[in-house]
Amino acid sequence: MKLSPSVSIEQAETGLEYINVSNKLCTAKIYLQGAQLTEFTPTDKKPLIWVSNEEDYQQGKSIRGGIPICWPWFGVNPNPDWPIHGIARTSLWRAEEVKEQDGQISVSLSLPMTHINKTFWPHKSRLVVEFILTSSLQVRLTTTNLSDETITFSQALHTYFPTPAISDTQVDGLQGAKYIEFGEGPFDQNELVGFARETDMVYTQAADTQRIITPDGIIEVGRENSSSCVLWNPWIDKSKRLSNFADDEYHTMLCLEAANVMDDSAVVAPGESHTLATTIRWV
């Protein structure tokens, strides 16, 4: 892969490699393990991505924070022995291409399917993620069906967002959607969503843009080819059970995830592609 002057390959203390981006518009880090972005900060603005202070960046473990890629299933598989949230977020991806023009940097990575256990994913396919970095961030996850049969899968871009105070944070733009929480529902979402307990809402029929209203400002989150999304905060009790997560860190984060889940699962015909995309920015 040919790098640009603003892009370099670095190594964490644990040996994990990451792509480091720094130019006039932003700074970012993307780990090759999981193709997981862990930092995106527009110049002269606060970070748009949250990572736990307890994260230790170990091989074979998904990073607690950033944007884990959940693919080709979201959550717990019907086979409970299979890894939660799929196989992409702990696999080693290959850096494919870096492009830089007029301050915009595009970084593409692919998941080598020869490394994937066919028990989990027997289909011929190609999976590529592209990060488009300016003063905003766009992530585009494209699955191409190279087989002779239609493939169906669920997925999510499991984005962790920062807030200085979850109790003073709200999410706007989910009104009119339906949600399931803790296996119950669907319920109608009629108002802004606040946080005063554990939140694990899976939304369908959702508008393509939401706004996270925090004491530090408003984060706009858009989606493409997705009418479903997931809103999550572990709150007090679950925080104590999570790995690589301090007991009090639920105060400073939330997840709002672009997804293709439930009735919105991706269905891709032979020779076709599906791209799940999300765009985030400070308003």
The predicted structure's pLDDT at residue 3: 79
User: What CATH number should be reported for the domain holding residue 64?
Assistant: 2.70.98.10
Using 50, 70 and 90 to split pLDDT, how confident is the model at 149? very high
Q: What range defines the domain where residue 267 resides?
A: 7-282
Per the CB < 8 A criterion, the answer to whether 88 and 71 are in contact is yes
* Residue 105 within a domain: yes
Beta-carbon count within 10 A of 269 CB: 11
Over range 106-119, report the average pLDDT.
95
pLDDT tens, position by position, 248-277: 999 999 999 999 999 999 999 999 999 999
* Residue 2 within a domain: no
Bridge-based pairing of strands 253-260 and 155-157 is antiparallel
Is residue 5's pLDDT more than 90? no
Using 50, 70 and 90 to split pLDDT, how confident is the model at 4? confident
Over range 12-17, report the average pLDDT.
95
* Residue 168 within a domain: yes
The predicted structure's pLDDT at residue 193: 98
The predicted structure's pLDDT at residue 249: 98
- How many whole angstroms separate alpha carbon 217 and alpha carbon 30? 25
pLDDT tens, position by position, 21-59: 999 999 999 999 999 999 999 999 999 999 999 999 999
The predicted structure's pLDDT at residue 97: 95
Over range 217-233, report the average pLDDT.
98
Over range 196-213, report the average pLDDT.
98
DSSP string covering the chain = ----TTEEEEE-TTS-EEEEEESSSEEEEEETBTTEEEEEEETTS--S--B-TT----TTS--SBSB-EEBS--SS-SSTTSPTTBSGGGSBPEEEEEEEETTEEEEEEE--GGGS-TTT--S-EEEEEEEEESSSEEEEEEEEE-SSS-EEE-EEE--EEE-S-GGG-EEES-TT-EEEETTEEEEE--S-B--SS-EEEEEES--SEEEEEETTEEEEEEEES-SEEEEEE-HHHHHTTSTT--TTGGGGEEEEEEEE-GGG-EEE-TT-EEEEEEEEEE-
Using 50, 70 and 90 to split pLDDT, how confident is the model at 72? very high
Over range 209-214, report the average pLDDT.
98
The predicted structure's pLDDT at residue 86: 96
Provide the whole-model pTM.
0.97
Tokens of 131: 């990060």
Is residue 2's pLDDT more than 80? no
Return all residues near 123 (Cβ < 8 A) that are at least 6 apart.
145, 147, 149, 151
The predicted structure's pLDDT at residue 115: 85
- How many whole angstroms separate alpha carbon 52 and alpha carbon 84? 19
Question: How many structural domains is the chain composed of?
Answer: 1
